Structure 1
């Protein structure tokens, strides 16, 4: 069940993207508990004015998305945007939107995601990220990108990739991609003892850095 969206009021609102084609419910993985847990942690860590107990879900071509600078897309291995959705998301990114992509882990899922992402940004180059990039130092100082794995398949070593404006690493990072990882799942179940504490802690650190980067760039 999708909860009602909170009206825009200037406070930071966690925004999740809902796709309408492909495996339609994949977009909702970890919803809404992940959002609630993350916003509680982010509210305690930062001075951001934010909504802790509510969050938003928007389709990719919802004009209301333009109120929000950061959005989260999960399970992109099942994401097949329409032309209209791809165009709308392209405009949002080009206007300054920052996209967080999370939770996929094998070759077929990568192929589906890459095709979808290139329909949004046809000229984009998807490149590996280095720990020295500002996004890994925007709030927490993340010392290494080695160690995390996807919770569904611990043999898959996490990779972090990005898309830059004009494919220029000196310009704004427009998309951050968590491949072989699922920070949403780690945050959803962080209080249940299902996963190693260090992985849950790292998931919150990555998510916090992503939001801070997106809000300041």
Structure 2
């Protein structure tokens, strides 16, 4: 019954409000980094792939029952992350019931977030997502997979995921920094072609959520 209620809630969200949310986590990391990124992604998606996302994203804590009101959660930052036992339980239920979490390493998150993901899925490993996956294919084609937005350590960008019954439910983007590419142009002074790549990849993520 809980799963049916959750599915009905997602149908309602998809049909009417389509609100997405930023995760406010504990541990001291700057969960609030990139304040203009989600609003810009929302604007881009509404204009190019015809979503009807609310212009202002919500903010939600991992243990909140409100988590189940959002089909898409975004999480970013540079520092420490700690998921409490209640956070872990709630996030796992959310993802098992059809929710989606995108974690974007804003440089410095990697060493912390991998341990916290393992708390949620102790029996599953993050796997690298191949460029053939649907998330890289539509509506915009990324033949080489995740685009490189910021250099960081000069490593190649990688997209990792957790799958439940062949459905991607958790996306972790590393050495890429999509969120920086979504920010207002003057924040990072990225060339327009770099910002466009970041926004197109973000649109692919949103498209995947509502169409798979």
Asked if TM exceeds 0.5, the reply is yes
Q: Does 1:159 align with 2:186?
A: no
Alpha-carbon contact 2:180-2:188 (below 8 Å) kept: no
1:102 equivalent to 2:104? Answer: yes
TM-score between both structures, scaled by the size of structure 2: 0.85
Give 1:180 deviation, angstroms. Answer: 0.9
Residues 1:147 and 1:205: Cα distance change in structure 2 (over 3 Å): closer
Q: Helix, strand or coil for the counterpart of 1:101?
A: strand
Equivalents in 1 of 2:188, 2:164: separation in Å?
A: 39
In structure 2, runs of 5+ residues without a counterpart are 1-12
1:23 aligns to 2:23 (yes or no): no
**Contact 2:103 2:173 (C-alpha < 8 Å) held by counterparts:** yes
Q: How many residues align?
A: 199
Name the counterpart of 2:60. 58
Q: Residue 180 of structure 2: SS of its match in structure 1?
A: helix
Deviation (angstroms), 1:18: 0.5
2:3 maps to none
Call closer, same or farther: CA 1:214–1:77 in 2, change over 3 Å.
farther
Residues 103, 190 of structure 1: alpha-carbon distance in 2 compared, 3 angstrom cutoff: farther
Is this contact kept in 2: 1:68–1:97, CA < 8 A?
yes
Q: CA deviation at 1:92?
A: 0.2
* Unaligned 5+ runs, structure 1: 1-7
The TM-score with structure 1 as length reference comes to 0.83
- Report if the CA contact (8 A) 1:76-1:112 is conserved: no
Give a deviation string over 1:111-162, Cα, whole Å, max 9, x none.
Answer: 31111001111112111111100111132111223651435x2623311111
1:3 matched to which residue of 2? none
Query: Which residue does the alignment assign to 2:127?
Result: 127
SS at structure 2 position matched to 1:36: helix
Paired with 2:150 and 2:100, the residues of 1 have a C-alpha distance of: 23
